Amino acid sequence: MKVFSAHLDNLHKLYVNQLHMLLSTEQQITKALPTMVEKATDTQLKQAFQSHLQETRVQIERLEIILTESGEEPEARKCKVLEALVEEAEDLVGDATDESVRDASPDYGCSTH
């Protein structure tokens, strides 16, 4: 996996690149959390996911403001790591037949950071 590419030749470019990736991360979380809310059976877990969804939406707004104020377009650059975590959590949700096992699984929550 490439961490740095040729176009990241100074700290400012690295900083902006990381902001774009964080935006992607938050957007991916926003897409994953509604399913997690729906599939959770524990009331407290469901509420935690709903709360996290609201916090994530605020984070997206903040990142968009930071990027815009930095003279950048608020475009997401796909975070492949989170994409893999979301996929893993979705597999777990599909595989778990016992609701309490699914709710208690540490992998279930990993797609939220």
Per-chain mean pLDDT for the chain? 82
Residue 65 counted as domain residue: yes
Name the band, by pLDDT with cuts 50, 70 and 90, for residue 62: very high
Residue 67 counted as domain residue: yes
Residue 1 counted as domain residue: no
Name the band, by pLDDT with cuts 50, 70 and 90, for residue 112: very low
pLDDT at 81: 84
pLDDT at 113: 40
How many domains in the chain?
Answer: 1
Residue 25 structural domain: 11-110
Please compute the mean of the pLDDT values over residues 13-40 and round it to a whole number: 91
Q: How far apart are CA 95 and CA 100, in angstroms?
A: 13
| pLDDT over threshold 90, residue 98 | no
pLDDT at 35: 86
pLDDT at 99: 75
Residue 5 counted as domain residue: no
Q: For 14, which DSSP code? A: H
CATH number reported for the structural domain that contains residue 16 in this entry: 1.20.1260.10
pLDDT at 78: 85
Please compute the mean of the pLDDT values over residues 35-60 and round it to a whole number: 93
Distances (CA, A) of 74 to 22, 25, 56, 86: 11, 13, 16, 22
Please compute the mean of the pLDDT values over residues 43-64 and round it to a whole number: 96
Residue 2 counted as domain residue: no
Residue 68 counted as domain residue: yes
Residue 4 counted as domain residue: no
Please compute the mean of the pLDDT values over residues 43-67 and round it to a whole number: 96
